[in-house]
Structure formats: C-alpha cells, structure tokens
Amino acid sequence: MTLLVFGSTGQVARELALVAPNARFVGRNEADLADPAACARLIRDARPDAVINAAAWTAVDLAEAQEAAARVVNGEAPGLMAQACAELGAPFVHISTDYVFSGDGEAAWREDDATAPINAYGRSKRLGEEQVLRRGGRCAILRSSWVFSRFGANFVRTMLRAGEGRPALRVVNDQIGGPTPASAVARACLDLAARLREPAPRTGLYHLAGAPDVSWAGFASAIFEAAAMECEVVGVPSSDWPRPARRPSNSRLDCDRIRRHLGVQRPDWRSALGPIVAHLRTDDA
C-alpha cells in the first residue's frame, strides 16, 4: 500500500514513521494545510493508495485569537483532502479530538452524541469533521484525547520539566479524560486505512482513548511515580488556571465502536508511560 501522510514532526506522525517507514511524509514545506488547494493537488498528483492526515493546528489558546486561520488548517484543508481522495477512490483517515464535545456531564462521549465545542480550536476541528464527512468516499475520522509520546511537546514532558527540583506542583483535578499513547493512535490509523480498502469499508467516526480515565492531577502523579520524582501533586480547580481557551471538564470517550468494528482495544496508558518517561528523562538530561 502506497501511503501518504500529512505531517512529519507531530507526535502521531513520528510514531507512524516508526511503524510505516516506507510511507511518504509530507511536511509544511511541501504542502502547508494553510493552503488547502495545494494539499488536494498533491494528493491528486501522488495518487496514493491511502492518505492519513496527522497534521493540524494544535495551539489551542492561540486559536482563540486566530480562529479564522485555525479553521482553514483544521477545517477547510481536511475537506479538500477528503474530496481529492474520494475522486481517486483512496481511503482517507483524519485525526480529530474530544474537544468537539461540550465537556458536560460524566458519561463517556459516543460517536453519535451531539457536538458542541466550547473553544475556537474545537470549533475548527468540528468543521473539519463536517467537511470530511460531507465529501463521502472511503473516509474515517479518529477522535482521540490527551495524546502523549516521547516526541515533541506534551503533558508528560511538561510535567517532568516543571516538577524537577520542586517539592510540590499544582495541577488541575476537575478535567477528566483518557491519556492516549501516540503509538496507539498511529496503529489505529494504519488499521483504519487498511480496512477502508476493503469492499465494504466501515467509514465514519471512531473514538480511541487510553484507559483508565483520570484527571490531569492523577496523570501527573503517575508521571512522577514513573520517574521516581519526589514531587507532590496538589489538585486544584480549573478556575485556578485561567487560560484564553476553556477546556472541557469531561473528555471521556466511549471506544466501543472501534473495538466492535476493528478489534482495537483501549490502550492502557500506564503500561506505556514508564518507557516514555525513561526516554524523556534521558533525552532531556
């Protein structure tokens, strides 16, 4: 399978490079999602067997001030990419987020639940979902949450740096979700791309998030334990950490559909955390 991946430096793209080294990875210098037509043109010229979009505007707070630009990258570009794939009959896998939901309640969000994003980033990602789905074709959207890995900037690396040499650290404890290893997202994207080539492809929306669900404070405690760092985590409400973009309180995702359709289980983030922490501690030393 000739695979074309948009994104080359992000967490999922770098994990994809480890498991699909023969894929063609397209960076911003070759096709910038800020120019959606160029991305669609590249697909038509390359004529790949499948496309995975692992590129996005991920600066959540900055999107509040630059929502129009975020909507182009996260909304319009995936739509035109999906259109190009539909014309070629090529599978298109697009990565989305739990931020398309309101974050109300405590129940895990299902794929068919109503969306109601509470920030500009979430609105831009929901636009992308709508644009991809309306193009038809062999497309799948994978929503994930709280992605972490040994690559790039993420919560694990931030906590390791912030907790170094400190007796205690205040971390939000009223936002709940499933930390998800980027490696699991990468493997699920490859699985979806392969399944979408079958005669009766299972298109549409899928959720994948790590288990068990936990607060950011609980996740931070597990990080420090894995790193053998003596830094106490003090749980605080989100109101103690005001930010330009509101964050959803409930980021739980129901992942039963991907289990039933593809046999993909929720990854245990605790088993993935130790090796990642060890790598980051060595890498940042």
pLDDT tens digit at each of 285 positions of the chain: 899 999 999 999 999 999 999 999 999 999 999 999 999 999 999 999 999 999 999 999 999 999 999 999 999 999 999 999 999 999 999 999 999 999 999 999 999 999 999 999 999 999 999 999 999 899 999 999 999 999 999 999 999 999 999 999 999 999 999 999 999 999 999 999 999 999 989 899 999 999 999 999 999 999 999 999 999 999 999 999 899 999 999 999 999 999 999 999 999 999 999 999 999 988 765
Token duo for residue 157: 């690396």
Residue 157 vs residues 148, 162, 261, 273: alpha-carbon distances, Å = 9, 9, 34, 11
DSSP summary character for residue 98 = G
Q: Name the token pair of 223.
A: 């990080």
CA-CA-CA-CA torsion sign (135, 139, 145, 151) = negative
Whole-Å CA distances, 5 to 13, 92, 166, 189, 272: 7, 10, 40, 10, 24
- Spatial neighbors of 55 by CB under 8 A, at least 6 apart, are 6, 7, 10, 13, 26, 28, 33, 73
Could you give the CA distance from residue 142 to residue 96 in angstroms, rounded to a whole number? 6
H/E segment holding residue 153: none
DSSP type of residue 100: G
Pairwise CA distance, residues 39 & 52, whole Å: 12
- Catalytic pick from 121, 146, 148, 269? 121
Q: Is 121 a catalytic residue?
A: yes
Contact 224, 159 (CB under 8 A): yes
In this structure, are residues 166 and 227 in contact, taking their beta carbons and an 8 Å threshold? no
Q: Beta-carbon neighbour count of residue 90 at 10 Å?
A: 25
Distant-in-sequence, close-in-space partners of 34: CB < 8 Å, separation ≥ 6: 69, 72, 73, 77
In the numeric block, which tokens belong to residue 271?
A: 């088993």
Homologous superfamily of 3-153+180-210 in CATH?
NAD(P)-binding Rossmann-like Domain (3.40.50.720)
Helix axes 36-46, 77-88, angle to 10 degrees: 20
Q: What is the DSSP letter of 281?
A: H
Apex 283 CA angle, 177 and 7, nearest 5: 60
Per-residue pLDDT, 283: 73
Tokens coding 88: 């070629």
- Locate the domains of the chain by residue range: 3-153+180-210
Judge residue 140's burial from the number of C-beta atoms within 10 Å of its C-beta, 0-12 exposed, 13-18 middle, 19 or more buried: buried
Distance CA 141, CA 7 (A): 16
Cα dihedral 134, 30, 23, 18 sign: negative
Strand, coil or helix: what is 33? coil
